[in-house]
Amino acid sequence: MKTNFIHTYVSVDCVVFGFDDEQLNILLVQRNNIDENDPKRLKLPGSLIFDNEDVDDAASRVLYELTGIRRMTLKQFRCFAAPDRASNPQDIKWLDQAYKPDIDRLITVAYFSLCKIGRKLNVSNITKYKAVEWCPLSELPDMPFDHNKIVEASLIDIRRWIETDPVIVFDLLPQKFTISQLHRLYESIYNKKIDIRNFHKKVATMTYVLPLAEKQLGVSHRAARYYKFDKKAYNRLKTSI
């Protein structure tokens, strides 16, 4: 009988993106200090999964506990299972206190989710974490485990996803938005400058992005037109392909 097969705990971790008109942000939670020497550590929201729970259900549970929102779009994008991903002594100590002792290895299934940042977070259910906050993608701290790596990987997957199914982009925007907002959002996701004239051409091909009669009010520059995402038009297009 071989005895060297992994026998492990499994967790889910969620990368929740929000866009605040200028940049992409990620929802982070503050984990409880392990001891006096432990600095404030921000991490991705996550949880071990229960013994009667599927991973997708665990991810929905974590997001509900965090945000009070039951139906957020969640995409599973990868399992992280490097043998040493939970080998940092501080991380092990935190697992000891937050969950149970002697967790020697931990694999995690990672999800991403996109939401409107204006959405009110209902964090009343949270007992495990001290605080929940939006953190700009460009200012991410050094996080526990391999959470920084998970965020990087999620961005690569989101870009790939958008190429085939751009609908998820509009989950990040308010109901009505300007082309300039959409442009900044694309620049944030791809982390590069995108020529605005080329971008206008691209938007012109998006027959599901419809101009509204309404324009911006009370702005010092020339008021920009608002647009909306027409989900029905988008779905018609998708099914006709």
Q: Interface with a second copy by CB under 8 A: which residues?
A: 1-10, 48-56, 76, 78-79, 81-83, 99-100, 105, 107, 109, 160, 163-165
Q: Residue 66: name the closest of 145, 165, 134, 143 by CA.
A: 134
Residue 135 or 153 with smaller CB distance to a second copy: 153
φ, ψ dihedrals at 116, nearest 5°: -70, 130
Residue 6 or 213 with smaller CB distance to a second copy: 6
Q: How far is the CB of 87 from a second copy (least distance, A)?
A: 12
What single string gives the DSSP state of each residue in 210-222? EEEEEE--S-SSP
Q: How far is the CB of 71 from a second copy (least distance, A)?
A: 20
- Give the up-direction half-sphere exposure of residue 49: CA atoms within 13 A in the CB hemisphere: 22
Q: How far is the CB of 2 from a second copy (least distance, A)?
A: 7
Residue 1 or 213 with smaller CB distance to a second copy: 1
Q: How far is the CB of 200 from a second copy (least distance, A)?
A: 18
Q: Count the Cβ atoms, other than its own, within 10 Å of residue 110.
A: 27
Residue 7 or 193 with smaller CB distance to a second copy: 7
Residue 21 or 56 with smaller CB distance to a second copy: 56
Give the three-class secondary structure for 66.
helix
- In this structure, the strands spanning 41-43 and 46-48 are unpaired
Residue 78 or 116 with smaller CB distance to a second copy: 78
Q: How far is the CB of 147 from a second copy (least distance, A)?
A: 17
Give how far the C-alpha of residue 127 lies from the chain's centroid of Cα atoms, to the nearest Å.
21
Tracing tokens 């945000």 back to the chain, one arrives at: 67
Where b means 16+ CB within 10 Å and e means fewer, 5-34 reads eeeebebbbbbbbbbeeeebbbbbbebeeb
Q: Count the Cβ atoms, other than its own, within 10 Å of residue 231.
A: 11
Residue 130 or 159 with smaller CB distance to a second copy: 159
